[in-house]
């Protein structure tokens, strides 16, 4: 048989601390990067949807700008804020009539 000598070296507490720190960075670092990237993507892309206006027979993209206009319409009429979809049909039509008279300034 071959004679092999195994030399084991003791790891100091300082070295063990460094090793644990490096291992935790290697495990947690990529997870944090994914979380930050996905959070940034979520804020950059706000959800939009299309809303049909039956009075004018057209579609409107409901985004942050449309939501701000809707809240302005509610404030002008001293209405309590509720979601557009929960408004009765007459109020929805009144909103779109107002909206066509108040286009966005670009």
Minimum mean pLDDT range among 27-41, 53-67, 87-101: 27-41
In the predicted structure, residue 44 carries a pLDDT above the cut 60: no
Q: What average pLDDT does range 4-30 have in this prediction?
A: 72
Report the predicted TM-score, pTM, of the whole model to 2 decimal places. 0.56
User: Do 84 and 62 meet the contact criterion of CB atoms below 8 Å apart?
Assistant: yes
Query: What residues does each domain of the chain span?
Result: 11-45, 49-101
Q: Which residue reads 């290697």 in tokens?
A: 26
- What integer pLDDT is reported at residue 54 of this predicted model? 86
Tokens, residue 89: 């049909």
CA torsion, ordered 37, 38, 40, 43, to nearest 10 deg: 170
User: Do 81 and 71 meet the contact criterion of CB atoms below 8 Å apart?
Assistant: yes
Best CA proximity match to 101, nearest among 59, 69, 77, 71: 69
- What integer pLDDT is reported at residue 47 of this predicted model? 76
């Amino acid at each position: 048989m071959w004679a092999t000598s195994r030399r084991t070296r003791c790891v100091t507490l300082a070295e063990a601390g460094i090793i644990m720190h490096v291992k935790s960075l290697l495990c947690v670092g990529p997870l944090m990067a994914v979380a930050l990237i996905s959070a940034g993507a979520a804020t950059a892309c706000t959800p939009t949807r299309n809303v049909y206006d039956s009075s004018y027979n057209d579609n409107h993209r409901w985004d942050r700008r449309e939501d701000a206009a809707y809240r302005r319409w509610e404030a002008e009429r001293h209405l309590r804020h509720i979601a557009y979809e929960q408004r009765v049909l007459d109020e929805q039509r009144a909103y779109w009539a107002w909206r066509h008279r108040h286009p966005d300034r670009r």
